[in-house]
Amino acid sequence: MKIIQVLIIIIMVSNITTLNVSSSEKCQQNEVLDNIDIGDILLMEYKSNLNPLQNNGGPNDHIAIYIGEDQFVHSKPFSKVEIKDYEYFKENYVLTQFGYIKNATLTEKENAANWAKDQVGSRYQNIKKISPKGKNNRWYNSELIWKAYKTQGIDIDADLDENHKIVEVSEISIHPNVETYNNYEVPDFLRKGDIIMMDIYTDGVWGIEGNSNDHSGLYMGKDFRDGQYFVQAGSGGVQYIKFDTYKTVFENFTYYKVNNASQQQKNSAVQWAVEHIDCKYQFFFPESIYPGMWELGLKCDDPENPEVKTSDRFYCMELVWASYYNQGIDLDSNGWQKLYPKAPPMLGVFAKLWDRVEGILFEPFAYVNGDDIKFCENTTEYII
């Protein structure tokens, strides 16, 4: 009898222990913050750069809508609309950012979430342009979220597509009515037109030697979208970027002010950069990374050809430089140090084809990098 009692106690204790462990694991998975409302959105990016659905830029690859209890509705590529918990997205995506629709009431948010939930089981639309957005009962991820709010009379498509037939995640993320939550505050000392520089966490292709040399952006000021945005030239072109995104993928932040620029010139520099939103990215091959390879970091401003002021595509340092150069301030400490690029022998004919495709005639040109801006007499680093 005693043996049976002991076994029963062991089983009961074992069950209690199991329940406690399961509860603990569930708590670890439920990471959605308390300030996230039903109807808020989750923006994210695929982990693999080889994913065929990868889009250049910040968290522009995928989007989901929050329905409460740490669960989201999304349209899974090549599958269907489904419900997944937050842990699923944390495991399969990076750069996850929560956002919200600024002019949507709590009721409209909940109605949008419920509409999305009603679509669970609907098929994924594999080819976006096969049917104009919202015209059938198949959904790709951004179309699903757009339609959820469209049913509430709220259009969150920035309509960069000239035919207005599709809606991309990037179009939703930059819509004036869409804002992302702030987890990191921009330093109080920064002013509109100041420069931010940083290093990427990994020592990958763009890991340029030196401190805060890998990337740069221009601060847009506290009067722009809650003061949390920068403008930059990245792989997705010229775009707005949240400070949260910088904090996610970069480190070693340094900040610079332009000494001899009036506030009007700083404002104009920011405005110039904003006017070039959506310009393409200029691929840039620094000599320190690809020794012997020609430079494609075309600064595109030739004293001998004053009609050519800037290019129609930018790498990060070039955008910062060009924004101020067009206000009469040169942030390149090298001035006009020209380079004569030579294509590596192993590329042969390919180099000539590239030459024609890009429209670069291998003429002399110059480029600007992080050190050029840092050590320019026109800039001073903030001492923190």
User: pLDDT tens digit string along 270-315?
Assistant: 999 999 988 888 776 555 554 444 444 556 555 555 554 556 778 8
Give the three-state DSSP class for 341. Answer: coil
Of the candidate ranges 22-31, 132-141, 262-271, 314-323, the one whose mean pLDDT is the lowest: 22-31
CATH topology of domain 195-381: endopeptidase fold (from Nostoc punctiforme) (3.90.1720)
Of the candidate ranges 57-61, 150-154, 160-164, 183-187, the one whose mean pLDDT is the lowest: 160-164
- CB of 300 closer than 8 Å to CB of 359: no
Closest CA to 379 of 267, 258, 269, 212: 258
What are the structural domain ranges in the chain?
41-180, 195-381
Q: What span, in angstroms and rounded, lies between the C-alpha atoms of 331 and 26? A: 52
Please state the rounded mean pLDDT for residues 173-202.
88
**What are phi and psi for residue 81, nearest 5 degrees?**
-75, 130
CATH superfamily label, 41-180: endopeptidase domain like (from Nostoc punctiforme) (3.90.1720.10)
Of the candidate ranges 130-134, 136-140, 189-193, 317-321, the one whose mean pLDDT is the lowest: 130-134
CA distances from 305 to 103, 321, 325, 332, 365 (A): 48, 18, 15, 18, 12
Q: What span, in angstroms and rounded, lies between the C-alpha atoms of 228 and 239? A: 14
**Whole-model pTM?**
0.61
* pLDDT score of 110 more than 50: yes
Residues 6+ apart with CB under 8 A from 173: 43, 58, 59, 60, 99, 180
* Tally of CA atoms within 13 A in the half-sphere of 152 that contains its CB: 22
**% the chain with pLDDT above 70:** 71
User: pLDDT tens digit string along 66-83?
Assistant: 999 999 999 998 999 999
Confirm whether 41-180 and 195-381 share one CATH topology: yes
What does the radius of gyration of the chain's CA atoms come to, in whole angstroms? Answer: 25
* pLDDT score of 127 more than 60: yes
